[in-house]
């Protein structure tokens, strides 16, 4: 079961807006006394693209996300910028021949472009991880947010590739991969290790990450509201650079800045 489907009604209520692919839920609702657009990618058993029927981010999903975000930006051009909340449970990008042939990379670029432009235009953009946030699917749906919030739950998973495929590509067994992941924080599949990279703004313990209780909903909505206020007028991703396991990212930036000015 896709978790975004369970969280969305409580978080946003209301009907999903028409005009988008059936694998998208786009709901406008109130958050902290302002408008917010909640967006999720969900399974669609009748998806015209058979490799994107289980909630994967494929061609229609990438371009559909772009449309949903772009329309919010256009609607708010002269008014208060609504918050945009990506509710994330995406198992992967779509792997298939149709997808490569028709340029799935460009569809996902459309989604990244839209989220990034919304952020630059002054919309508070928040990624709420309620389930899987895998690889290209996460890049397209959530990773451009100013703040990332994750449920503190073993079903929340951030990674670049599933274990079996990652083992094959790196010429290791799954057991070897797991042994390495236990020691190498960026390779790990657990949320504690991910949090040590400094990419999450908050982790939230809830009673039921699968099917949220009213108290869970209230807690997460309060956290989203707090994130909107914390974002304030910031439009970039710099808040992600402080993690204990991102020392090299900081050192590269500091030393490049020094040499850049001298060059």
Partner 1 sequence: MTDSERLLQSRSFVELGARQRAQALLDPDTFRELLGPFDRLMSPWLPRQGIVPQADDGVVIAKGRLAGRNAVVAAIEGGFQGGSMGEVGGAKIAAALELAIEDNRNGIPTCAVLLLETGGVRLQEANLGLAAIAEIQAAIVQLRGHQPVIGLIAGSVGCFGGMSIAAGLCSHLLVTREARLGLNGPQVIEQEAGIDEYDAKDRPFIWSLTGGEQRHASGLADAYVSDDLTAVREQVLQLLQAPSAARASRPDWYLERLSSLGSDVAQLDGADVRALYQGDAR
Site for partner 1 in 136-195 (CB under 8 A): 136, 138-140, 143-144, 158-161, 164-166, 168-170, 180, 183-188, 194
Please report, as residue ranges, which positions from 13 to 72 form the binding site for partner 1 (by CB under 8 A): 21, 46, 48-51, 59-60, 63-64, 66-67, 70
Query: Can you point out the beta strands (E) in the chain?
Result: 24-31, 34-41, 83-90, 125-134, 147-151, 157-159, 202-204
- The least distance separating partner 1 from the CB of residue 213, rounded to whole angstroms, comes to 30
Q: Which of 95, 94, 90, 126 is nearest to 202 (CA)?
A: 126
- For residue 48, give both structure tokens: 């015209």
Phi then psi for 42, rounded to 5 degrees?
Answer: -130, 160
- Smallest gap, in angstroms, from Cβ of residue 10 to partner 1? 28
Shortest gap between Cβ of 33 and partner 1 (angstroms)? 28
The residues in 212-231 that bind partner 1, with binding defined as CB under 8 A, are none
Stretch in the footprint of partner 1 (CB under 8 A) among 8-16, 202-210, 211-219, 251-259 = 251-259
Judged by CB, which is closer to partner 1: 187, or 225?
Answer: 187
Q: Is 1 helix (H, G, I), strand (E, B) or coil?
A: coil
Minimum CB distance to partner 1, residue 43 (Å): 16
Q: Is 120 in the site for partner 1 (CB under 8 A)?
A: yes
Cα 124 from Cα 248, distance rounded (Å) = 28
Is 115 within 8 Å of 84 (Cβ atoms)?
Answer: yes
Q: Using the minimum distance from each CB to partner 1, give the nearer residue, 100 or 208.
A: 100
E strands, 62-152, are 83-90, 125-134, 147-151
Using rule CB under 8 A, residue 132 touches partner 1: no
**Contact status, residue 143 vs residue 127, Cβ threshold 8 Å:** yes
Q: How do the residues of the chain divide into helix, strand and coil, expressed in percent and rounded to 5?
A: 45, 20, 35
- Residue with Cβ nearer partner 1 (215 or 252): 252
DSSP code at position 171: T
**Total binding residues for partner 1 by CB under 8 A?**
82
Q: Please list every residue from 71 through 110 that binds partner 1, using CB under 8 A.
A: 92-93, 95-110
């Amino acid at each position: 079961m896709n978790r975004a489907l369970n969280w969305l009604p409580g978080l946003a209520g209301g009907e999903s807006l028409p005009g988008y692919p059936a694998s998208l839920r786009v709901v406008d609702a109130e958050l902290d006394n302002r408008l917010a657009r909640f967006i999720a990618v969900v399974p669609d058993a009748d998806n015209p693209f058979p490799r994107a029927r289980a909630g994967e981010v494929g061609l229609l999903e990438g371009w559909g996300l772009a449309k949903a975000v772009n329309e919010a930006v256009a609607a708010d051009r002269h008014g208060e910028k609504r918050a945009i909340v990506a509710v994330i449970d995406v198992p992967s990008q779509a792997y298939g021949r149709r997808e490569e042939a028709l340029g799935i990379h460009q569809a996902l670029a459309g989604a990244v472009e839209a989220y990034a432009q919304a952020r630059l235009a002054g919309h508070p953009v928040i990624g709420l991880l309620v389930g899987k946030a895998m690889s290209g699917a996460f890049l397209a749906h959530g990773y451009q947010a100013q703040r990332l919030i994750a449920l503190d739950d073993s079903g929340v998973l951030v990674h670049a590739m599933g274990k079996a495929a990652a083992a094959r590509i790196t010429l290791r067994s799954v057991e070897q991969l797991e042994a390495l992941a236990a020691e190498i924080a960026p390779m790990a599949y657990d949320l504690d290790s991910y949090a040590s990279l400094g990419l999450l703004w908050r982790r939230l313990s809830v009673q039921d990450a699968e099917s949220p209780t009213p108290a869970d909903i209230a807690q997460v909505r309060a956290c989203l509201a707090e994130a909107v206020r914390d974002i304030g007028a910031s439009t970039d991703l710099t808040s992600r650079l402080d993690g204990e396991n991102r020392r090299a990212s900081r050192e590269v930036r500091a030393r490049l800045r020094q040499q850049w000015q001298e060059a």
